[in-house]
Amino acid sequence: MSVVMVTGSAGLIGSEAVEFYVRRGFDVAGIDNNMRRYFFGAEGSTLWNRRRLEALYGAKYRHFETDIRDREGINRIFAHYSDNLSLIIHTAAQPSHDWAAREPLTDFGVNAAGTLNLLEAMRKYSPGAVFVYLSTNKVYGDRPNGLPLVELATRWEIDPSHPYREGIPEDMPVDQCLHSLFGASKLAADLMVQEYGRYFHLKTCCLRGGVLSGARQSGVPLHGFVNYLLKCVAAGIPYTIFGYKGKQVRDVISSSDVIAAIHAFYENPKAGGEVYNLGGGRSSNISVLEAIELAQEITGRKLETHYQENHRTGDHIWYISDMKKFIRHFPQWKITKNVQMIMEEIWENNKKRWR
């Protein structure tokens, strides 16, 4: 088995996965129909990244412009590769809270039904492969907002006496709270990935990501927080802060550290249906206010900001991932880049293009 399949292959994590596995001698099949352009307009398009991958890797990278909602199209791709598929990395998604409410059927079709199409095709044609799903911490809904939080000068923090002081673990409940439609569709897919692992004994896992960030993300107002923030500074675009006084906290993980986590699972897959929280944890997290200050420091430029009192529906006030479970299962893996390093890398790689 020598083929890796990557859905959302022209996106941030997808393209990083393509490069990682081509360099290790695999052939890579990429599935990406540039739905980000439909979701977010021209600035969200990933066509530039697809062309870059095709130019760099030639025959080692084969691109399929197939919609994951197209069951027959997905089945044809899986039938073509069949037992040669060793790993499926599923990153394709509708990724925005706000956008999901505009077209709930599209959101659920892509996030939930599209994932089911991939799982069923794997079960039918490539049952020996490993399946890694890029889920999200939004599967926990707004449950984290009920934690005892303390307001500090630039951020919210959890009460230091609380058991979750090092971060939110996988045992946080996922139901009877507000998710947003995006959170609900991602949770439906997350549960299906777990069930295909457990019920059909397939090697599947869900990585419930925090803020996944890196230089090749097409950041937009509704998705790609850190990348879009730096883009605003570079281009002189006003940045809108949505609620919580700008003190809401996110943990930020580099795309390269995400790929390293995927590879760790691929090399030693656990029992089917495992779930892991994956983010920057205590070593790499930041509030919106702190990110604005750091972006100005890195770029040497001032950013115009506007504050909107109403927060985004289902948004987290404080979210830091507890990754003890993943590290216990894969002790060779570690965070290699903190949020400042990630932001500096994004700036250095994009400043000429954004100006």
d(CA 54, CA 239): 34
pLDDT at 43: 84
The pLDDT, as a whole number, for residue 353 is 80
| Cα(195)–Cα(302) distance, integer angstroms | 49
Beta strands in the chain (DSSP E): 3-7, 27-31, 61-64, 85-90, 130-136, 149-151, 156-158, 203-209, 211-213, 239-242, 249-254, 274-278, 285-287, 305-308
CA distance 43 to 19: 23
pLDDT in tens, the chain (355 residues): 699 999 999 999 999 999 999 999 999 999 999 999 999 899 889 999 999 999 999 999 999 999 999 999 999 999 999 999 999 999 999 998 889 999 999 999 999 999 999 999 999 999 999 999 999 999 999 999 999 999 999 999 999 999 999 999 999 999 999 999 999 999 999 999 999 999 999 999 999 999 999 888 877 776 778 989 999 998 899 999 999 999 999 999 999 999 999 999 999 998 889 999 999 999 999 999 999 999 999 999 999 999 999 888 888 999 999 999 999 999 999 999 999 999 999 999 988 887 7
pLDDT score recorded for residue 221:
72
Check: CB of residue 17 under 8 Å from CB of residue 9. yes
User: Which residue segments constitute the domains of the chain, with CATH numbers given?
Assistant: 3-354 (3.40.50.720)
Q: What is the reported pLDDT for 104? A: 97
Q: What distance in Å separates the CA atoms of residue 119 and residue 189, rounded to the nearest whole number?
A: 10
* In contact, 255 and 16? CB cutoff 8 Å: yes
Place of tokens 């569709």: 185
Which amino acid makes up residue 286?
I
The arrangement of strands across the sheet holding 211-213 comes to: 211-213, 249-254, 285-287
- The full DSSP string for 247-313 is --EEEEEEHHHHHHHHHHHHHS--STTEEEEES-GGGSEEEHHHHHHHHHHHHT----EEEESSPPT
Residue 29's φ and ψ, nearest 5 degrees, are -105, 120
Distance between CA atoms of residues 66 and 105, nearest Å: 18
pLDDT at 220: 74
Q: Could you tell me which of 49, 38, 48 has the C-alpha nearest to residue 14? A: 49
Predicted confidence at residue 1, as pLDDT, reads: 60
Q: How far apart are CA 109 and CA 316, in angstroms?
A: 24
